[in-house]
Structures are given as structure tokens and as C-alpha cells.
Structure 1
């Protein structure tokens, strides 16, 4: 009997925590690699992985440990694991991503340069630690707003919209003086042209340079905290929607430009009046979705497809991975707390669960835990899935949910 494939998951946090179970369903075993710079907002140890190798900065030492465990594939569980997973794959000579320019899969400015180099549309951008250089770039760009963000963070962390020189100065100081989600000080900022249009994300899995589109969703964002773009809600887009073919083709070309050949990717694309333009791409599974919920509503999910592509790559190459098919109206709503407060109790959540379209509620912390006013994904209290036969029903419950938040869902009880 052929021994099971052993997969090393680097930072199996967030949605990556679902990957060991998916791999086990398809006959593979998993061990955990803890990177030297994990996301400080996640727990330090996945609950269901018995073997953990801690990376202490010595690539050869870590690779030797994995070789001793018989690892045949290395994959990033979340953003903090991307570069280490690539480096370990190269060291072990297991299927991995191209190493011509690996930094382009994390550094957002390098990413834009790599994508532009193959002729794909990108936003005008600059990376700098000089306020004067940033101001000169903005003046030459000649349009407001502009976007500022850290070079290598994730989600909406310190992503700021600036509508004037004064706001640009303030945002520059805020980004440059902060730590990113991995505990590292931002040594520079990226200034980027604001892109107008509809924003989509394309979740994919790849094996040997062949790609499979798992799902396409459309984002809706709102501004919070005086100018920070924050995720509001997202919805899957029907596969026959004309936009899907356009953004999918662009996203797959981005994967090739970034040499993403093995593993998962989450690519955000703005569909502008002139065509698709890259927001950013990440060489890991996308977001904080619940795979079981997504699979139940769409017929497939990225984590299961990733496990299949790792264990049985012939399924991807032969086009046998399942295609997504939305069964009803579905909306993933990011919870937003308007003030500091606390996580609601089960009793406090009752009005949310009683919404007719409420399918699932996922809180970011235990009931009674402190809640900060939402300014980014790191301060969101969690998320809710709404589903119904029609979009109108979902829309009504979405507004009811937002009203519950505004009227005290996270209010700290007084005694």
C-alpha cells in the first residue's frame, strides 16, 4: 500500500485551520509549521495538529526537520506562511511556486511591478519612506483620492483613503509608525491610484502551473473611521455572469505573472470601466469563510478543492474538480461595531439568529469579550451568513442586522 502523502501547513490559522481535516478526508496526513512571524491576531497553536515544527529563522534546520517527517508537500495556511512555504518547498524540492521573484507574492509594490511586466493593467503606485516623495507622486498623479497601505500586510490593515494633501500627510505618519498584522514595523508605505469600479475576488487552486477557479465573489465595502475602507458584505457571482469570465481570465494571468503554480490563491480585482485591474493577490486560501457553509450553498469550497489538488492533482489537470453553482441568494456580512463594547451573549444574539435568512453566526471571540470600535478586519466582531430564495429577502435582513448593531448589539451591560 502506498503510504499517505504528508503535508506541512505553514501557519494553519484562520481558514487554514480547516485544511488538516480536508486533507485527512482525502487520505493525506498533516503536520504544522509555525513561522517566525505569524499573524498576531490568530491563536498560537492549531488544536488538531499533533506535530508542530517551529521555524526559528534557519531554513535548512526547518527543512531537515520536515524531511525527517517525510513531508512531500508544503502549503501556506494563511498570509504569514506564504514566503516560508515557498522557501521550504524549494529547499525540499517538493511542488511549489516559482522562485524567480518570490517577494512579489507578499510585497504589494513588487507584486504590481511583476504583473505590469507581463503587460497586465495595474494601478499607478509608489513605495517610499519619504513624505516628500509621496507628495510629489500624488501631485504628478493629479487625482484624488489616493490609497495608502503597508507594503506587506493583509486584509484592511492600515489601508487608508486620502482626499487631500493634509489627509495624505496624516495617513503617511499613521502607516509608517505602525506595526503590521505580523508584528513588524512598517518601513515604508505604498501610495496607489484609487480604482473606481466593482471589486471582485477570485479564489483558485493550482497544481503544476494549471489553475482551477473555485469561486468568484463580489465585494461591497464602506468607509469607517473617517476614511478607512472596510469590508461590508460579499456575495458569490453566478458563473454565467459576464463579469466572471473577464475577472477570472485576468486573475489567472496574474497567477502566472507571480509564478503561483501549486497551492491556493485569493486574487482581488477591480473591474473598472477600462477593464480589470489588480488590487492584490495572495498565494494562500482566501479570507475567513466557513468551508462547510460555502460548500453547502455553492456545491464546493476552496479548502476542499485545495486538498484534492494536493493529494490527487490529476483531478485538477483533467478538469474534474467541482464547479461552483449558487443554489440561492447568499451574503457574507462582516459585523461592524459602531463603538467599544463587548461580544454579545447567546441571549443577546437571539435577534440575529431569528432573522429569517440567518444561516450561520461566527464571532471572533467568546461572549463577553471586549469589542473595539470596528476600524479594520482585526477589530470586526465576526461575520454572519444570510441566505434566502431571493436577494430582496437577504437585503431586508441585512438592513435589520445593521440596525441591531446600531441599536446596541455590542453594548456593555450596566449593573
Structure 2
């Protein structure tokens, strides 16, 4: 890749880079790219609480006037606008269209955020999708479940993310309770839920495909399998993730389907994160997000996969021709790794201290850990992404070592990790 000394300095704007900003900045700066931050009116209420990364050359607040915000970016000589968070997806597209910079298609712009519009776009393009309805009436969803989809059905906010209020409901009573909870709660961006989305329960193995696109040509940065846990109340949370070799037959199937989804949603530029369930009838979309995948550690991705989404986006900015020469599947599986999502199984607990994490750091395959709360802060029981205390990355060429260390990590969690003091 070009170094900062050999590449002409360019400026890009990232919309809502509250979580990804600390990862984006060093990679982009190494490539000679200066970064401007744009804050949307409704960023993720959980991520905005994190300390904001330093290093952006300017910060622009969007107050609703796209032309005014685009004018400010034009004065800053911004050449590309890129979404780094779910809350920035729609604003990114509108700004790119206003500026005339590389962006996504605008015939169905809401289909990249609104999960019902997403399904409609897939249906119009002839791409397999899940049976779905939206309604402000719980009884309408119950009737649909009992006459069409069957139980369980999955309820979620129509435009939220991060497993926020995603619940698999197994009865009419549960549908009513979850529907009421969603309708009376704001989503992760602080906005009211005016309808609830219901989908057929997709039974199978779940994968995600992270891609980077330029002018409608998609390159795959990584393919992973999700392993999730369904809690007794129906909430679905992340357990752990593992990458697939690019020549794995399942990987090739979900990759081809993911690229069809991107075309159907008119995703033409920059990063995307696509979640897919491999069902008995083949791959079916869970949801697609036109932004970077979360939970990234660029150095580890480069070590184990040979590349990462952030570097690929940077390459597409500084050297589009070189980016276009990349193979469609741009990664390799160089080392085995497992992302283990921390789970607090208790109604009470505290964020683990450095000392409490020592037993995890001692695991033979331990490579990296991220905790989301200061040590000693009270923790709620884990029911979704926002209440997961962090994650641990294990790396080993021995699959059995990864499995053994994973089991030991869960034992440490159950034993003392979230206690007031380490035992």
C-alpha cells in the first residue's frame, strides 16, 4: 500500500465514528488520508458515551440541512463521505449525493437502514428474503404468526441494530409483551419505535460477510460464522465468532449471496457488513449494514486474514486502480482465531479489573481483550450487545487449543470474573 510519504494527502469524512474512529484514524493517517468527523443528529446512544478519539482535523455537526453540511465539507476539501456507524448510513448517502462524490444508489435509500424496506428491495430484485411484516398492532403480528410464519417469530425494531430488543417469541403472550416493550422504548439512536418488525425464525447457521466496494465492484475482506445463544427469555446474544477459509464451500455460497444483496440494495461504495442465515433452502439475509463491521482489531485481522476492511477502504481512496486489481475474495485464513463475546450471566456484577482479567490473559491462545466499562463499574445481566462486557480474541493454529481456552474462559466468567474482587 502507498505510504504517507508517497501518497498525496486526501481528506475523507466519516459519519458517526464514535466507536470506529480510534481504529480508522491511525490506519487512514498512515495512508496519507486526513479525516473529518461528521456527527449526525441521532448517533448511537451507547457509543456516544465513549471517549471520542483525537486526531480528526475538523468536526462538523449536522443539524438537518444536508446542503449546509455538504457546503461545510466542500470548504474542507473532503473528497469522500463514508459511514462508520449504523446511525450515519442514511446521512452519508445524502451527503455523497449532494457533493457528487462516490456513494450508493438513491432509488431506495431507506432500504439500507429500514429492515422492512430492505426485504422489499431484495424481493424486487428476485433475491431470497425472509417472510416479514411490520405493524404497530401486536394482534396483527400474532395473526400473521399463527396463520403464516408459525412460532417462533423474531421481533425487533425496524431500524435499529446491535441485537437491540431482538427477541424470538414462542407464543402470543410473548409477542404482546415484546411488542409493547419495543413500542414504548427508544431505539439505540434515541428515536421512538412507531412500528415493530416481525420475521419468520430463520433456522440454520449464521454468517457475516464484510466487504468493501468501489463503483459497484465488491471485494470480500472476511467471512465469519456467528455462534449465538438464545437466552431463556428469548433474547439472542453473541457467544463467539470464527472466520472461514475463503475456499470453504459455505463461505463461497454466502459470499456470492452477499454480493447479490449488495447489488439489490444499491451498495456501490465503501464498507458493508452483511449477516446471512444458511437455511435448509439456502442463504437468507438477516440484515445488511452499509458501514464497517463492528468489533474490529485491524492489526489482528491483518495478521490472521492478510487484510482488513479499514485498509481496503483506504486503498480504494488512495489508489482505486490498485484496489480494482484485488481478487474478489481479498483475504486468506493465515491463523485460527476466535472472538469470544463476554457474557455476564448474573443480575449483578462489576466490570472486571486488570487483576481479574489476569486468568484470561494467561490462556495459551490469548491475544487481545476489549472491555466496554471501567473496572469496578456495575454491570447488568447480558441480554444484548449493549450489555455485553466486551470480548476476548484467541489465536492459535491448534483448533483444540482454541476450544479448550474458550471453555476455560467461560469457567472463569462463571466463577469470579464479574465479582467485586478476584478470588
Alignment TM class, shorter chain as reference:
over 0.9
Q: Secondary structure at the match of 1:111?
A: helix
TM superposition shift of 1:20: 2.3
Q: Secondary structure at the match of 1:341?
A: coil
TM superposition shift of 1:324: 1.8
**Which of 32, 35, 47 is equivalent to 1:30?**
35
Per-residue displacement from partner, 1:49-107 (whole Å, max 9, x unpaired)?
Answer: 13100111111111111111011100001111111110000011111101111000000
Per-residue displacement from partner, 1:254-292 (whole Å, max 9, x unpaired)?
Answer: 001111001100000111111110000000000112111
TM superposition shift of 1:220: 0.3
Distance 1:260 1:322, change over 3 A: closer
The reply to whether residue 368 of structure 1 matches residue 376 of structure 2 is yes
**Which of 118, 125, 129 is equivalent to 1:118?**
125
State the TM-score, normalized to the length of structure 2. 0.95
**Which of 10, 18, 37 is equivalent to 1:13?**
18
Q: Does the 8 A contact of 1:19 with 1:307 survive in 2?
A: no
List alignment gaps of at least 5 residues for structure 1: none
> What RMSD in Å do the two structures reach over aligned CA positions?
1.6
Instruction: State the partner residue of 1:380.
Output: 388
Q: Does the 8 A contact of 1:315 with 1:321 survive in 2?
A: no
Q: Does the 8 A contact of 1:357 with 1:388 survive in 2?
A: yes
How many angstroms apart in 1 are the aligned matches of 2:190 and 2:46?
A: 10
How many angstroms apart in 1 are the aligned matches of 2:32 and 2:161?
A: 32
Distance 1:225 1:36, change over 3 A: farther
Q: Does the 8 A contact of 2:8 with 2:32 survive in 1?
A: no
Instruction: State the partner residue of 1:395.
Output: 403
Count of equivalent residues: 414
Q: Secondary structure at the match of 1:201?
A: strand
State the TM-score, normalized to the length of structure 1. 0.96
Q: Secondary structure at the match of 1:14?
A: coil
How many angstroms apart in 1 are the aligned matches of 2:351 and 2:122?
A: 41
How many angstroms apart in 2 are the aligned matches of 1:5 and 1:253?
A: 31
Q: Secondary structure at the match of 1:66?
A: helix
How many angstroms apart in 2 are the aligned matches of 1:104 and 1:283?
A: 10
Instruction: State the partner residue of 1:51.
Output: 58
How many angstroms apart in 1 are the aligned matches of 2:185 and 2:414?
A: 29
Distance 1:142 1:183, change over 3 A: closer
The reply to whether residue 4 of structure 1 matches residue 9 of structure 2 is yes
How many angstroms apart in 2 are the aligned matches of 1:15 and 1:336?
A: 22
How many angstroms apart in 2 are the aligned matches of 1:15 and 1:298?
A: 19
Instruction: State the partner residue of 1:65.
Output: 72
**Which of 114, 120, 133 is equivalent to 1:107?**
114
